[in-house]
Structure 1
Amino acid sequence: MAEFEVATGAAEVPDGGDGRGRRAAVRTAFEGLLQIRRLMNTDAADPGGAPAEWERRQPVRAVAIALEAAGVPPSAMDTEGHRTATGYCLGAAERPGVVRVEWLGPPGSGAGYAAEDALRNCAAVLRRLGWEALEYRGPRRHRYLEVEPPPAGPPRR
């Protein structure tokens, strides 16, 4: 069985056959992520409420699964490097373990105007899943999020 390919928004949307096939694969991946949380976060008050160690080691992958499972569309690029769809675009931020979330689209798509509300929605989705998400503005007031798991608490005795 092939590993589930996440949609980061930085390439073509992974092939999932028809739209239903992709949605089913995303749902299965997200259910697996929640199961990992329940199994690994055994000492937490809410085992499903915080990113597990697996997510902390693969934050871009975990954030992509969470956003797509919530129905947030990924952006996409064609093979020539032209953006073809409006949505989230993920990548590693400057600090290790932190994910940068942008809202990008093809020229003329209005993605820049929609970014504030779209990123606010992304942040809400991720916060419900225990991630910390802060909005920033870069050059030319370009909005983006930096997303990271909360600090790991001291081990319980």
Structure 2
Amino acid sequence: MTKPPTAAQRRIIEAADPATGRLTGSEAQLAGLVRHRLAFRHPRPPHAYFLTPTGHRLREGVQAPAAEAPGPPPDAPAPSGLFAARTGAEPAPPPTERPAARARDVRSAWEGLLEMRRMTNPDSARDRPCAWERTHLVQAAALALEAAGCRPGAGGYRVDATPQPEAVAVHEASPEGLRTCAGVLEAAGWQVSEHAERAGGTRYLLASPRRGRASK
């Protein structure tokens, strides 16, 4: 953000939907928030506008650090374009990171993804992955896990791409953690199966986005 938002823009931010961050306002005002990196425009009709994690922090009265990067690395796209869930392969978080702020960003990203499901799935289903998740498998699975409170990295989960179409591998440090990850992903609309590596027999999960509603 290069300069503070105007009073009118602040009113739009404060009036955002508290769960999804959806915004209402004139096209010019909303476009201005996008330029400030406080909002993003959904790529699918009706092209609604939503708060980014930075916008959510501003709405809640928490200013982001001045040195905060404006977006994720190029290889880590996300629903908002400004947030990347942790896959477990990243370096340890910096000591200056505020856990409460990170949790708020994760929650906002997850709510944004659920809203994307509602807006882009043909039946408006929020309990089944959408097209974005099928093209960003690792990030989508990692977001579901992090949003549920699972811990990434050493001692926690790691999400890896696989040669199989529409499948990721999820590793966990303990059998209990692996079962927890399986339950989280199944609840988030993924099909999950457990396997053993040929070398060493280490257990891991294969997870794929579910296409149809689960049978009763």
TM-score by length of 2: 0.57
The alpha-carbon deviation at position 14 of structure 1 amounts to 5.3
Match of 2:88 among 9, 15, 23: 9
Q: Which residue of 2 aligns with 1:91?
A: 160
Percent same amino acid among aligned pairs? 39
* Cα contact 1:7–1:14 (8 A) shared by 2: no
Aligned positions, number: 132
Greater share of residues in strand: 1
Could you tell me which runs of 5 or more consecutive residues in structure 2 were left unpaired when the two chains were aligned.
1-36, 38-70, 72-81
Which structure's CA Rg is the greater one? 2
Deviations 1:48-92 (A, max 9, x none): 1110001111011111111001000001xxxxxxxxx31101110
In structure 2, give the amino acid aligned to 1:145. Answer: L
Distance 2:196 2:206 in 1: 11
Query: CA contact under 8 A between 1:7 and 1:13: conserved in structure 2?
Result: no
CA distance in 2, matches of 1:25, 1:13: 17
Task: List aligned pairs for 1:63-102, cutoff 5 A.
Answer: 63-75=141-153, 85-102=154-171
Amino acid of the structure 1 residue aligned with 2:119: L
Q: CA RMSD in A?
A: 1.8
Mapped to 1, the partners of 2:92 and 2:130 lie a distance apart of 26
Structure 1: stretches of 5+ with no match in the other structure = 76-84, 104-110
RCO higher in structure (CA 8 A, sep ≥6): 1
What's the TM-score, normalizing by structure 1? 0.77
| Letter in structure 1 aligned against 2:142 | A
Paired residues for 1:1-157 under 5 Å: 1=37, 2=71, 3-13=82-92, 17-43=97-123, 47-75=125-153, 85-103=154-172, 111=173, 114=174, 116-138=175-197, 139-151=199-211
